[in-house]
A and B are shown apart, each in its own frame.
Chain A
Amino acid sequence: MSTITTLSVLVQDNPGVLTRIAGLFARRAFNIVSLTVGPTERPGYSRITLVVPAEDEAVIEQVTKQLNKLIEVVKITEMARDEAVRRELVLVKVRADAATRADILALVETFRGKVVDVAAESLVIEVTGQHGKVQAFLSMIEPYGIKEVAQSGTVALARGSRAITDRSKYDRRAKSQRG
C-alpha cells in the first residue's frame, strides 16, 4: 500500500454530490481504494477523503482536475505523506474464551485499542490508527478467530494551522484567478 495518494475534497453537501463523485470515478475508469464522507465545521460543506492508487502521476493529475470540474467540489488538497495525519478505524468481533482472553487483552493494550463490547465467547475491539497499524492489528488478532470486521476508510487532516475551509485564503485565491 505504499503507492497511494490521499485527496481531501471539500464539497457543497448538496444531495447527489456523492453520486457525482462516484460516477466520475466509474465513468473515467479511475480506481479508488477508499472513500469517506462526513460533515465539516462549516454548515453546508462536507469533506470527502479519497484514497486512490498513485502509480501514475498523470492519473492523479486527471483525477484531481476532473474532480475540480464538478461544480459542487470547492477545493481539493493532496495530503502529502509527512504533512498529514491519517486515521482509520476498525471494529473487530473476535472469539475470546477463558484461555485466550488475557492474551487478546494484552494485544489490545499493545495497539492502544479498546474493548467496546464483552460477551461470553467474544469481544468487540476498537482500534484506530494509520492504515499500516490497523492492518498489523488485524493480522495479529486473526489467529484467535475473527467473527466479523467493520473497517472505515481513511480520514485525514493536514498538519499545521492551515485549514481547507479557510475562507479568507480561499477567497483571495479566487479573486486572483478571476484576474
Chain B
Amino acid sequence: MTGAQALVKTLEELGVEVAFGIPGGCILPLYDPLFDSSIRHILVRHEQGAAHAAEGYAMASGRVGVCMATSGPGATNLVTGLGDAYMDSVPIVAITGQVNSTSIGTDAFQEADIRGITFPITKHNFLVTRPQDIPQALTEAFHIASTGRPGPVLVDVAKDALTGSAPWSWPAPMRLPGYKPTLTPHFRQVHQAAAMIAEAKRPVLFIGGGIVKSGAVDELAAVVDRAPMPVVTTLMARGCFPDSNPLNFGMPGMHGTVAAVGALQKADLIVAVGVRFDDRVTGDKASFAPHAKIIHADIDPAEIGKNRAVDLPIVGDARLVLAQLERNLADLEVPGWDSWIGYLQGLRDKYPTWAGAPHDGMLQPQEVIRRIGQMAGEDAIFVTGVGQHQMWSAHFLPHEKPYRWLTSGGAGTMGYCVPAAMGAKVARPESVVWGIDGDGCFQMTNQELTTCALNGIPIKIAIINNQVLGMVRQWQTLFYNGRYSNTELHTDRVPDFVKLAEAMGCVGLRASNEDEVDAVIAQAMEINDRPVVAEFIVHKDAMVWPMVAAGTSNDDIKYARDMAPDWEEITL
C-alpha cells in the first residue's frame, strides 16, 4: 500500500468524514486515493479558509476538524488558522505536503519548513518521511489534538513518504510517553473548594471556554443549583450558562458588562473554571479582583498561576471538576448570598449594556444584531468575525444554549467568520448558521462563499457595514484625538456587497433603514438552497460600551464615553 493510500485509510479508520483543503504539487499523491474515499473533501479557495473551516467544524461538532494543504505557500497559508486554533484550544489536524525527503533543506521549489514555522502555534507537530510512519503519526496527531487541552496538530508528510510503499497494519501504535493529561481532579482540592465556597461572602463563578471543550454544561448548571452564586462567562463561554438565568451577569472584561466586571472586582472568592485570566478580562493585573481568593481549575496546569497567583489550584477536566464539586457542595450548608446578588442586580439594572442610541435615520448596529438574534432564535449557530460586531454579538444575541457560539477569541482573527460558518454548517447541516461579520473582516475571507455556493453549504452572513474598521476607529476616536488614519474602508462605494454576493452564487440582500431590517432577515431565513449575504448599512460612529481602556484597571470601566459607574451608589 502506498503512503498516500495508508494516509487516506488511516483517516477513514479514525472516523474522519470531512476535510477542507486545496491540492498542489507535493500533496498530489494524497489526492488520488482521496478521490475514491468516503471522506468528503471540500475544495476551498484559500488555505486559511480550510483551517478556519476545520475550526468551525470542530467547534460545531465536538470532533477533530481536518484541513489539508500542499507544501510551501499552501502550508504557510494555514498558519493564521493554526494560530487561531492554538489560542482558542480548538482540536484540528492539518495535513501538509512536503518536498521529497531527499530535497528537504535544499530550498526546493515550494519548500517551507512548516514544522519549524508552526512550533509555537501548534500543540504538537510531526514531519513524516517514511510511508510506514504515516498511520502512527496521524493516530498520535488525532489523539493529541482531541485530548487534554485540545489544540491544533500539524502533520507534514514528505512527497516520497506518500509515493513510497509499506505494509498496512492497524491499529497503529502510539508512543507518547510524555503525554498524560490529568483529567481527574484531586479529591482533597475539590473538597476544599466546596468549603471555600460555603464560607464565601461574595463568591463568583467565572467560567470560560474549558466548559465548552469538556462539555460541562449540565455539571455547571448542577453546581449553580446547589450553590446559587453569581456567574460570569468569558467571550468563549457565551451560551454555556443561559443569559436568561438571573444569576448570569454576562461577560466580564474590556467590553464586559458593568455587573460582570463589578462582580470580579468586588468578589471575595473567584471560582474560575476553564479560563486563563486573559488580559482582556483582567485589565491591569495589579488591580484585578483585589479582594478575591482564587480557586482556579483547568486541565492545563501551566494556566494555573500563569497570570494570577491562586489560592487553590485544581488540575482536571472541567466536567469532572464541576461534577465532583457539586457532590461536595451537597454535603454543605451554603448561604444565600442575597445581598451580594442584589448588589450585582442593582449594577445590572443601573448600567445596562446598551440603552439605545439617538435616532438619526441610520441603522444602529446593536439593534440589527439583536434583531437577527431574535428572528433566528436561540437554536441557531452564530459565528462572528472580530471587532465591534463581535462584541455586540456577544452581548445582544440570544446566548441561551451551548455549542452555538463560534468566535475568534484569543487570536482575534479578522476573517474567521465566513470560513468558520462554512465549517459549522458542514458539521450541523440541519442547523441554521448565521455569520455576523464586519465589512472589514468580510473582505478578508469572503471567497469561501464561492465554496459554499458550489458545495451546497447554505450559510447566512450578515455584514454589519459601517464603512470603517470600526473597533480601530473607536480607539482612534477615544485615544488618538479622532485622527482616522487608514480606517476608512469606503465600503459605501466599493465593493458592492450585493453584487459581490451574487457573483459568488449567493443571494445578496441589503437593508439601509429600519423598515427594511426585518424583511431582509426574514427573506434570508427563508432561503435555504443557497448562501445568503445580508448587508446592513449602519452608523459608523457607534461605539462598543462598556469599555475598560487597554492597560487600565477594571475599576475604571466606563459605561459610555467619560461615564464611570458609581460603585458606591448601590450598597453592598
Give residues in A with beta carbon < 8 Å to B: 11-12, 15-16, 19-20, 23-24, 27, 58, 61-62, 65-66, 68-75, 170, 174, 177-179
Tell me whether A70 and B178 are in contact (CB under 8 A): yes
CB atoms of A20 and B119 under 8 A apart: yes
Q: How far is the CA of A170 from the CA of B177 in the complex (A)?
A: 10
Which residue of A68, A70, A179 contacts B184 across the interface (Cβ within 8 Å)?
Answer: A179
B176 CB contacts on chain A under 8 angstroms: 71
Tell me the chain B residues, 138-181 only, with Cβ under 8 Å from chain A.
Answer: 144, 175-180
Cα-based distance from A75 to B306 in the complex (angstroms): 20
The answer to whether the Cβ of B487 comes within 8 Å of any Cβ in the partner chain is no
A–B complex contacts, Cβ < 8 Å, 24 sampled: A11-B178, A12-B177, A12-B178, A15-B127, A16-B116, A16-B119, A16-B127, A23-B119, A58-B305, A62-B306, A65-B306, A66-B302, A69-B300, A71-B124, A72-B178, A73-B178, A74-B177, A74-B178, A170-B177, A174-B180, A178-B183, A178-B184, A179-B183, A179-B184
Chain B residues with CB under 8 Å of A16's CB are: 115-116, 119, 127
Query: Using an 8 Å CB-CB cutoff, how does the interface string of B293-309 with A read, 1 for contact, 0 for none?
Result: 00000001110011001
CA distance A141 to B567 in the complex (A): 69
Select from chain B the residue with minimum beta-carbon distance to A69.
B302
Which one of A11, A69, A73, A174 has the highest number of Cβ atoms from chain B below 10 Å of its Cβ? A69
Complex-state Cα separation, A96 to B309, whole angstroms = 56
Interface of B, secondary structure class, is loop
A71, B115: Cβ atoms closer than 8 Å: no
Please indicate the chain B residues that have their CB under 8 angstroms from the CB of A58 in the complex.
305, 309
Q: Which residue of B lies closest to A27 (CB)?
A: B120
B182 at the binding interface (Cβ < 8 Å): yes
- Of all chain B residues, the one with the shortest Cβ separation from A179 is B184
| Complex-state Cα separation, A11 to B301, whole angstroms | 19
Report the Cα distance A113→B115, complex, angstroms. Answer: 44
Contacts of B300 in A (CB 8 A): 69
**B186: nearest chain-A partner, CB-CB:** A179
A177→B178 contact, CB < 8 A: no
| B180 lies within 8 A of A19 (CB) | no
B305/A61 in contact, CB under 8 A: yes
Q: How far is the CA of A72 from the CA of B301 in the complex (A)?
A: 17
Are A177 and B119 interface neighbours, CB within 8 A?
A: no
Bound-state CA distance A20–B126 (Å) is 12
Chain B residues within 8 Å of A178, by CB? 180, 183-184
Q: Within the assembled complex, what's the spacing in Å between the Cα atoms of A177 and B299?
A: 12
How near does chain B come to A149, taking the closest CB pair, in angstroms?
Answer: 32
CB distance from A16 to the nearest CB of B (A): 7
Q: In the complex, which residue of chain A has the Cβ closest to the Cβ of B116? A: A19
Once bound together, how far apart are the Cα atoms of A27 and B123, in whole Å?
Answer: 14
Chain B contacts with A in 100-121, Cβ cutoff 8 A: 115-116, 119-120
A64 to chain B, nearest CB (A): 9
**Docked pose: A178 CA to B183 CA in angstroms:** 7
Other than the given A74-B178, A179-B184, 10 more pairs (CB < 8 A) read A19-B116, A23-B119, A27-B120, A58-B309, A65-B301, A71-B123, A74-B177, A174-B180, A177-B182, A178-B184
Q: Are B182 and A71 in contact (CB under 8 A)?
A: no
Residues of B within 8 A of A71 (CB): 123-124, 144, 176, 178-179
* A73→B178 CA distance, assembly (Å): 5
**B289 CB, nearest partner CB in chain A, Å:** 18
> Which residues on the A side are within 8 Å of B182 (C-beta)?
177
Determine the distance from Cα of A11 to Cα of B123 in the docked complex, in whole angstroms: 16
Nearest neighbor of B317 in chain A, beta-carbon distance: A179
Instruction: Please measure, in the bound complex, the distance between the C-alpha atom of A174 and the C-alpha atom of B179, giving whole angstroms.
Output: 9
Residue of B nearest to A66 (CB): B302
**Bound state CA distance, A160 and B305, in angstroms?**
32
**Chain A residues whose CB sits within 8 angstroms of the CB of B306 once the complex forms:** 62, 65
A179 contact set on B, CB distance < 8 A: 183-184
Max chain A Cβ within 10 angstroms of own Cβ: one of B177, B182, B301: B177
With a CB–CB cut-off of 8 A, which chain A residues contact B178?
11-12, 70-75
A27 to chain B, nearest CB (A): 5
Q: Within 8 Å CB of A66, what residues of B? A: 302
Distance of A178 Cα from B181 Cα, bound (Å): 8
Contact with A19, one of B119, B184, B302 (Cβ below 8 angstroms) = B119
Once bound together, how far apart are the Cα atoms of A74 and B306, in whole Å?
A: 22
Among B124, B144, B175, B302, the one with the most A-chain Cβ atoms within 10 Å of its Cβ is B302
With a CB–CB cut-off of 8 A, which chain A residues contact B144? 71
* B73-102 with Cβ < 8 A to chain A: none
List, in ascending order, chain B residues with CB within 8 A of A75's CB.
Answer: 178
Chain B residue, CB-CB nearest to A170: B177
Nearest CB of chain B from residue A40's CB, rounded to whole Å: 13
Q: Name the B residues within 8 Å of A20 (CB-CB).
A: 119
